[in-house]
Amino acid sequence: MAVDAVTAPFTTHEVTNQVPPLQDLDLFSTNVPLVEALEREGAGWARERCAEVGRAWGGEPLTTWAFQANEYPPKLRTHDRFGHRIDEVEYHPAYHQLMRLSSEQGLHALPWTSDRDGAHVARAAMYLTSGQAEAGHGCPITMTFAAVPALRHQPDLYEEWVPKLTAHAYDPELRAGKDSAKCGMAMTEKQGGSDVRANTTRAVPDGDGYRLTGHKWFCSAPMCDVFLVLAQTDEGLGCFLVPRVLPDGTRNTFRLQRLKDKLGNRSNASSEVEFDQTYGQLVGELGRGVPTIIEMVAHTRLDCVLGSAAGMRWAVANATWHAAHRAAFGKTLVDQPLMQNVLADLAVESEAATALAMRLARAYDEEDTALRRLATAVGKYWVCKRYPGLAFEAMECLGGNGYVEDSGMPRLYREAPVNSIWEGSGNVNALDVLRALAKQPATLEAYFAEVELAAGADARLDAFVAGLRDEFADLEAVEMRARRIVEKLALALQGSLLVRHAPPAVADAFCASRLAGDGGLNYGTLPAGVDARAIVERHTPAL
Nearest to 133 by CA among 267, 50, 27: 27
What's the CATH number where 498 sits? 1.20.140.10
Nearest to 125 by CA among 54, 22, 26: 54
Where a domain ends, among 243, 264, 288? 288
Residue 187 in domain: yes
Q: Is the dihedral of CA 112, 116, 117, 123 positive or negative?
A: negative
pLDDT confidence of residue 543: 80
Residue 10 in domain: no
Residue 177 in domain: no
223 and 303 co-located in one domain: no
393 and 300 co-located in one domain: yes
Measured CA to CA, the distance from residue 359 to residue 494 in angstroms comes to: 10
Residue 326 in domain: yes
Residue 12 in domain: no
Residue 229 in domain: yes
What's the CATH number where 202 sits? 2.40.110.20
126 and 267 co-located in one domain: no
pLDDT confidence of residue 193: 81
83 and 142 co-located in one domain: yes
Task: Report the run of H or E that residue 442 belongs to, with start and end.
Answer: helix 442-451
257 and 300 co-located in one domain: no
pLDDT confidence of residue 373: 96
pLDDT confidence of residue 5: 52
113 and 201 co-located in one domain: no
pLDDT confidence of residue 9: 65
pLDDT confidence of residue 198: 85
pLDDT confidence of residue 1: 46
Measured CA to CA, the distance from residue 269 to residue 257 in angstroms comes to: 12
Domain hosting 126: range is 32-165
Where a domain ends, among 114, 136, 165? 165
385 and 496 co-located in one domain: yes
409 and 392 co-located in one domain: yes
pLDDT confidence of residue 345: 98
**Number of domains within the chain:** 3
230 and 112 co-located in one domain: no
440 and 404 co-located in one domain: yes
Residue 281 in domain: yes
C-alpha dihedral (274, 276, 281, 285), degrees to nearest 10: 80
320 and 459 co-located in one domain: yes
Residue 16 in domain: no
| Positions of the chain with pLDDT under 50 | 1, 3
Measured CA to CA, the distance from residue 250 to residue 160 in angstroms comes to: 19
284 and 300 co-located in one domain: no
Nearest-10 crossing angle of helices 289-325, 138-151: 150
Where a domain ends, among 288, 315, 346? 288
pLDDT confidence of residue 447: 97
Q: What is the DSSP string of 491-513?
A: HHHHHHHHHHHS-HHHHHHHIII
Nearest to 308 by CA among 175, 470, 416, 211: 416
